[in-house]
Structure 1
Amino acid sequence: MPVITRRRLTLPALVGMVCAALTTLLIVSPGFASADDAGIEPGEAYMGVGVAQHEGRAESRAEPPDVSPLQTVEGVDVASHQGDVDWATLWSSGVQWAYVKATEGVSYENPYFAQQYNGSYDVGMIRGAYHFALPDVSSGADQANFFVDNGGGWSADGKTLPGVLDIEYNPYGDTCYGLDAASMVSWIADFMNTYYARTGRYAAIYTTTDWWTTCTGNNGDFGANHPLWIARYASDPGALPAGWGFHTFWQYTSTGPTVGDHNVFNGAYDRLQALASNV
């Protein structure tokens, strides 16, 4: 008969086993995402970084929605992971507006911002800038000021759209950035009020209905003034967050041509011009 030996676990070994188990639990638990899971480094988050991971791609599409071209205007959003963008190709394909990531938190600036922001403008597009929110690192006011100071302002040239707050799944940790619903709503209001004070424009909000419901308690306070940019990779935008009767922008895919993230503006081109001109 074989002899069975019993190995006594030392305290350091036991601690190591517990830590490993907890790490595994965090990685596989629903709602938790890390920078490694998203394949990005700190500072490199982008619009929709967690949408497919958290919500999937039901009926994912790479073609524009099947609606009259008179009712929508095709656009793209870009960040540092796209690098130098071929704006001429996008323009010739019918893309007429673009949003460019300018900042994240209070320390990250998109190193490709100039090429992307100016390049889209130079080919004829109406363009704007967006900020990726990190509500767990500083106040909303601090991040709004950082955004405005580093490309997120607005000018009355008829070609510049108001800034956008990208508030969505946290790619670096807890889905709601460690804030309860009331604290998250206060943070968003702090950002929005500061942006308005600095620019005279109401910033738009990019989010998903699922994230908004989960992390703000489906708060309805922002719909009266702030345009909604809804993200949903499906055949329609789906149900909207509380407070909004309609969406202004819809990110409908992350696998579009030339650059992945493609969107539509919910209206004709003259309404997009009106949004840029604040009329």
Structure 2
Amino acid sequence: MPSTSRSARSTGTNRSPKPRRLAVLAALATAAALTAGVSAPAHAAEPAPTAAPATTPDGSAGAERQGGLPPIHPERDFAGSTVAAHEGRADTPALASLTATQTPGLDVASYQGNVDWASVAGNGARFAYVKATEGTTYRNPYFAQQYNGSYNAGLIRGAYHFALPDRSSGTAQANWFVDHGGGWSRDGRTLPPALDIEYNPYGATCFGLSQSAMVSWIRAFSNTVRSRTGRYPTIYTTTGWWATCTGNNSSFGATNPLWIARYASAVGTLPNGWTYQTFWQYADSGTFPGDQNLFNGAYDRLKALANG
């Protein structure tokens, strides 16, 4: 029986047959409405349902709203999208003076759209990193054109993931990444998958995680990628962010290649644990679409990295 009837019995009111029959009829009407798929009137207003996540052109969800966090704008997030605002730009290196010992390349995301890879290769690029995923909902809708197109133009290419450590676990994001483009094969043309972990574009610099929690998150991501692909991921970051958000942790230098971001004429001080960088993102514009990068070695060493 409805709670009003139970309350009535306990107070000794509404004992006459007519009110009792009305209460029964009301209960039967409610049950009939529910059976027919019609909601009975609510006694109190219920909160409106959360809006469904936005979607990208490929139909994948493009926003995460977890624990009251704001929705994401993954089309504006890419390797280095937060760097200049936090660390600025200085003079970029003279590329000609470095290409004798280093190998030029680029990184791209959905912002670049369909890339003319033949032109990119003709201008001297030898490798490319392509954004594949972000969080556990977003997939770059241009990934296939960018990832396969760079390969078909003769570049050595790899995929990267934009980390959102406050949204889900490192394990969950690593699995999403590997399942949607972040794989690896020993074909001499595929770079290790990469983790892009930088300043939070949605709020607190370190995503609300303590230094120890951030290290644990990165380790979970790294170990999951390693178990799934056979390679430890390259870690993209800045020296300043790494010091602030991991406490300058030194435990990844022995296993994970470093992709350092610094928009200056020299690579500068590296994060603790690394004695050299594998990749250097030295500018966010230049000869190639997207960001400008150098591999720290000649082309044969780049191929060796791809082969593992």
Report if TM-score (shorter chain) is over 0.5. yes
Mapped partners of 1:75, 1:170: distance in 2:
25
Q: Identify the residue that residue 152 of structure 2 maps to in structure 1.
A: 122
Mapped partners of 1:42, 1:201: distance in 2:
26
2:180 is the counterpart of 1:150: yes
Q: Identify the residue that residue 95 of structure 2 maps to in structure 1.
A: 64
Q: Identify the residue that residue 8 of structure 1 maps to in structure 2.
A: none
Mapped partners of 1:78, 1:43: distance in 2:
11
Mapped partners of 2:112, 2:104: distance in 1:
18
The 5 A counterparts of 1:179-190 are 179-190=209-220
The one-letter code of the counterpart of 1:128 is G
Give deviations 1:127-178, integer Å, cap 9, x for gaps. Answer: 0000000000000000000000000000111100110000001111111000
Mapped partners of 2:138, 2:96: distance in 1:
34
1:86 counterpart (96, 116, 123): 116
1:70 CA displacement: 3.2
1:258 CA displacement: 3.8
The one-letter code of the counterpart of 1:51 is V
Q: Identify the residue that residue 78 of structure 2 maps to in structure 1.
A: 46
2:294 is the counterpart of 1:253: no
Q: Identify the residue that residue 237 of structure 1 maps to in structure 2.
A: 267
1:242 CA displacement: 0.3
- Partners of 2:106 and 2:129 within 8 A in 1: yes
Mapped partners of 2:162, 2:300: distance in 1:
28
The one-letter code of the counterpart of 2:95 is P
Mapped partners of 2:74, 2:239: distance in 1:
25
**Which structure 1 residue ranges, 4+ long, deviate > 6 Å from structure 2?**
none
Identity across the alignment (%): 63
1:43 CA displacement: 5.1
- Partners of 2:75 and 2:111 within 8 A in 1: no
2:90 is the counterpart of 1:55: no
Q: Note the aligned Cα RMSD (angstroms).
A: 1.7
- Partners of 1:202 and 1:225 within 8 A in 2: yes
Change (3 A) 1:65 1:173: farther
1:267 CA displacement: 0.5
The 5 A counterparts of 1:158-197 are 158-197=188-227
1:86 CA displacement: 1.1
Which residues of structure 2 form unaligned runs of 5+? 1-69
Larger RCO (alpha carbons 8 Å, 6+ apart): 1
TM-score by length of 2: 0.75
- Partners of 2:123 and 2:287 within 8 A in 1: no
Mapped partners of 1:254, 1:169: distance in 2:
16
Give deviations 1:87-143, integer Å, cap 9, x for gaps. Answer: 111100110100000000000000000000000000100000000000000000000
The one-letter code of the counterpart of 1:59 is D
- Partners of 1:89 and 1:258 within 8 A in 2: no
Mapped partners of 1:177, 1:41: distance in 2:
15
- Partners of 1:78 and 1:261 within 8 A in 2: yes
- Partners of 1:141 and 1:190 within 8 A in 2: yes
Which residues of structure 1 form unaligned runs of 5+? 1-34
1:139 counterpart (152, 169, 174): 169
Give deviations 1:193-237, integer Å, cap 9, x for gaps. Answer: 110000111111000000000100100000001000000000011
Mapped partners of 2:280, 2:231: distance in 1:
20
Change (3 A) 1:266 1:80: same
Question: SS of 2:181's equivalent?
Answer: helix
TM-score by length of 1: 0.83
Matched residues, number:
240
The one-letter code of the counterpart of 1:52 is A
- Partners of 1:72 and 1:264 within 8 A in 2: yes
